[in-house]
């Protein structure tokens, strides 16, 4: 897994890469502990997309490489679901979208806190 993090494209991150990796690990651990946690599932899917682990867009159906512009669009789509806006994509769980919104917002510097707490005892 460490090799995967070393290949992670950091140009789109506005947070330290080590912090991002730690949050990704914590989101994965939280989801592994409770597979019904839709918030953690959304945050994890978004973090994996941002890190380039998967090309699956966390809100839209289909594959789309993550870019800075794509992250901004993802944020708007996730917010639209969370706030039940008329143009929101249909069929997206609100808790999932909240996890996505939290992750993308923090990763591109719009939020100061990560969506899941960083376990300071775990190495990224």
What distance, in Å, lies between the first and last C-alpha atoms of the chain? 9
Q: Read off the pLDDT of residues 70-120 as tens digits, 9 standing for 90 and up.
A: 999 999 999 999 999 999 999 999 999 999 999 999 999 889 899 987 664
Domain boundaries, the chain: 17-108
pLDDT digits (tens, 9 = 90+) for 89-103: 999 999 999 999 999
pTM: 0.90
Strand partners, 56: 63
d(CA 98, CA 15): 19
């Amino acid at each position: 897994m460490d090799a995967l993090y070393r290949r992670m494209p950091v140009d789109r991150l506005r947070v330290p890469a080590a912090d991002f990796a730690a949050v990704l690990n914590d989101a994965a651990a939280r989801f592994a502990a409770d597979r019904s946690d839709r918030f953690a599932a959304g945050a994890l899917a978004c973090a994996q997309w941002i890190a380039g682990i998967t090309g699956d867009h966390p809100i839209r159906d289909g594959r789309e490489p993550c870019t800075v512009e794509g992250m901004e669009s993802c944020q708007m789509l996730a917010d639209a679901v969370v706030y039940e806006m008329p143009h929101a994509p249909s069929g997206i769980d609100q808790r999932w979208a909240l996890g996505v919104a939290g992750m993308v917002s923090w990763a591109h510097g719009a939020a100061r806190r990560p969506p899941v707490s960083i376990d300071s005892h775990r190495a990224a």
